[in-house]
Amino acid sequence: MLIRPSVESDVPYLYDICLKTGDAGKDASAQFHDPHLLGHYYAAPYLFFDRHLCFVIEEDYIPQGYIVAAGDSFAFYQWMEETWMPPLRRRYAAPFPQEWAKSAYEQRLIDQLQQSVIPSETAFPWLSRYPAHLHINLLPAVQGKGQGKALMNTLFAGLGQKKIPGVYLGVVTTNTGAIGFYNKIGFSALREESWGITMGKELNHGL
């Protein structure tokens, strides 16, 4: 297995992996009418924002997992709002047919499309210590083999090159496997959320 920087042509694989691990780490395919909706939020935009903080793990030339991150989360959400979201909002024009979504999960993402993605000033009080955020998703075949940890360390080195002091992430309460993994990697809880936990890790780059 090979970990390498992600490139634009990885986009279809990122969408696929995002969907197949998008239900608290399990396959979310059955819950989505549009198989790309999850990836529109949680995978593809990172590659277009700054692909230097995106990495894939591939086997036999096929990406099997990824880690994607934004070094400056606030700048990322501003970019999403100005550049990424407007075409999506036009395409999924409101009012969206209520019966179309296959699940409450998909309906929630459809509803969110029409809302600003820019957090309020008080929403993420940890941003000065943990300006970056990430998403990591591996297909079941490559889980539990140390590759998640290796992807994390690859990203931490990339964040180190940019002198970024910390990184946060969100994980749903039911994804106990991922929470165990994040604890092991050195993340700790920043805030309990209605949907799960925000966790953060300071990065020591000799700053």
Residue ranges that bind ligand COA, judged by CB under 6 A: 21, 25, 136-138, 143-149, 171, 175, 177-178, 180-181, 184
Which CB atom, from 73 or from 147, has the smaller least distance to ligand COA?
A: 147
* 165 token code pair: 């002091």
Cα dihedral sign, 183-187-192-197: negative
Using CA atoms, how far apart are residues 111 and 92, in angstroms rounded to an integer? 10
Beta-carbon-side half-sphere exposure of residue 200 (alpha carbons within 13 Å): 17
Using CA atoms, how far apart are residues 110 and 89, in angstroms rounded to an integer? 9
Cβ 66 to ligand COA shortest distance, Å: 9
Pairing state of beta strands 132-138 and 2-5?
A: unpaired
Which CB atom, from 114 or from 143, has the smaller least distance to ligand COA?
A: 143
Which CB atom, from 114 or from 174, has the smaller least distance to ligand COA?
A: 174
Q: Count CB-CB contacts under 10 A for residue 205.
A: 14
Which CB atom, from 31 or from 97, has the smaller least distance to ligand COA?
A: 31
Using CA atoms, how far apart are residues 203 and 186, in angstroms rounded to an integer? 10
Which CB atom, from 89 or from 145, has the smaller least distance to ligand COA?
A: 145
Cβ 136 to ligand COA shortest distance, Å: 4
Which CB atom, from 60 or from 87, has the smaller least distance to ligand COA?
A: 60
Using CA atoms, how far apart are residues 183 and 188, in angstroms rounded to an integer? 6
Cβ 24 to ligand COA shortest distance, Å: 7
Cβ 144 to ligand COA shortest distance, Å: 5
CB 51 within 8 A of CB 8: yes
Cβ 26 to ligand COA shortest distance, Å: 8
Alpha-helix residue ranges (DSSP H) falling in 72-135:
73-79, 85-91, 104-113
Cβ 93 to ligand COA shortest distance, Å: 30
